[in-house]
Amino acid sequence: MTTTHSQRADVPTLSDVEDAAAVLRGVIVRTPLDESQHLSELLGVPVHLKLENLQRTGSFKIRGATYRLSQLTAEERGRGVVAASAGNHAQGVALAAKSLGIPATIFMPLGVPVPKLLATRGYGADVVLEGATVETPLRLAAEFAERTGAVFIHPFDHPDVIAGQGTLGLELMDEMPELDTVVLGIGGGGLIAGVAAAVKARAAAAGRTVRVIGVQAENSAAYPASLQAGHPLEVATKPTIADGIAVARPGDLPFRMISELVDEVVTVTEDDIARALLVLLERAKQVVEPAGAVGVAAILAGKITATGPTVSVLTGGNIDPLLLQRVVAHGLSASGRYMTLQIPLPDRPGQLARVSELLALAGANVIEVLHTRHGQGLQISEVILQLSVETRGEEHRAHVISVLEDAGYAPNVVPD
């Protein structure tokens, strides 16, 4: 029997990535590389953003999915494909399957963002919603493949998928020959493995090196512990807004490659990610999903040491508008630009006016006011004043609180 690409289990090389680039030419968009003045000033070196959020389907996943499906035999295509995803891989597989005339079934978790669900269905895939996290769809997709003979398209643990994702690295080297450092998020590891393979090989051929730094959400960070242990570990995870990289266990093949090729893996908090989304909206005018912003989050959080021209990859832009609304509010709070205060007041005339006057003197802009006599621990002669105010940063926020305290009030900051 002839061995096809879809049956390989070896580590993809630069030649494989270049083969993938030839297949993907005309299928994917060559996304822009945009300089960020704000991040450049912060890091002290030129920083560019690779706008993969503007890619077809809104993320880099179309690269690996399309190349993987293109390498299937005619017999495999006839059996159809099945995948599991929280959204971006689903869209990539669905669109690739549609363009190649392959039937596709996609299992997705119940909480998948609505835009990702609608887009996946819009590309013609049969979507099945099941489970609270992506682990359940992964199990169900594997069972579906076993039962029906459909080809399971893994989101990251396959050489063709990794080679396809690696085409992004070729673009970086073509567009920025002086590239020194690449920063990008890690979920299962397929993207960073492919990009690292491409940029390291291209740089070595030119007699120099490129650093590759991976970023994970602190609440779902399997790679730091796995790299320390020397093998993939399944770790306990907490909910994270960066659902696109919330993977409990590294992929076997990506892990092998990352162990050899990636220079460093760092983590960022939920506040870091929310702050990054806000900066990208305000400074870069880019709508990015949380998983796509972790590289910028790491730069803003001081986790990246710069040694030369740096690129942070914005890996996707498929964010639910309702989540975006909540994340922006959280990002404003995390940046010291928005807070909600609860202030106990004596129940007598003029108190609301007095507090409003103090806030005006402190330069805080009041967004919302709630004045109530109902609250736990209140005395009969007390009321609670709850205020949402806009501030100019951490120092101004502290000043506003100080002004109220100096006037004899006891403001409490309400957590997000």
pLDDT tens-digit map of 106-154 = 999 888 878 889 999 999 999 999 988 777 898 999 999 999 999 999 9
Residue 47 main-chain phi, psi, to 5 deg: -120, 125
pLDDT tens-digit map of 356-377 = 999 999 999 998 888 876 655 5
Least confident of 39-43, 128-132, 205-209, 315-319: 128-132
pLDDT tens-digit map of 86-113 = 789 999 999 999 999 999 999 998 888 7
What percent of the chain is predicted at pLDDT more than 90?
76
pTM confidence score: 0.86
Chain mean pLDDT for the chain: 92
| pLDDT for res 375 | 58
Q: How many CB atoms lie within 10 A of CB 169?
A: 30
Residue 185, pLDDT above cutoff 90 = yes
The strand order across the sheet containing 126-129 reads 126-129, 104-108, 81-84, 151-152
pLDDT tens-digit map of 68-78 = 999 999 999 99
Distance CA 258, CA 191 (A): 10
Residue 253, pLDDT above cutoff 80 = yes
Q: How many CB atoms lie within 10 A of CB 321?
A: 10
- What does the radius of gyration of the chain's CA atoms come to, in whole angstroms? 24
DSSP conformation letters of 182-244: EEEE-SSSHHHHHHHHHHHHHHHHTT---EEEEEEEGGG-HHHHHHHHTS---------S-GG
Classified as helix, coil or strand, 318 is coil
Distance CA 122, CA 95 (A): 9
Banded pLDDT at 215 (limits 50, 70, 90): very high
Residue 379, pLDDT above cutoff 70 = no
Overall average pLDDT of the 22-41 stretch: 96
| pLDDT for res 346 | 86
Alpha-carbon torsion (316, 119, 167, 34), positive or negative: negative
User: 62-152: same fold as 5-60+159-332?
Assistant: yes
Structure tokens at 105: 């079934």
Banded pLDDT at 4 (limits 50, 70, 90): very low
Residue 95 main-chain phi, psi, to 5 deg: -70, -40
Using CA atoms, how far residue 187 sits from 206, 251, 292, in Å, is 30, 9, 11
Domain boundary assignment for the chain: 5-60+159-332, 62-152, 336-413
Domain covering 62-152, topology: Rossmann fold (3.40.50)
Banded pLDDT at 329 (limits 50, 70, 90): confident
Domain covering 5-60+159-332, topology: Rossmann fold (3.40.50)
Nearest to 37 by CA among 372, 272, 316, 279: 279
Nearest to 188 by CA among 137, 117, 253, 136: 253
Choose the CATH number for 336-413 among 3.30.70.260, 3.40.50.720, 3.40.50.10140, 3.30.70.1450: 3.30.70.260
| H or E segment and range at residue 98 | helix 88-100
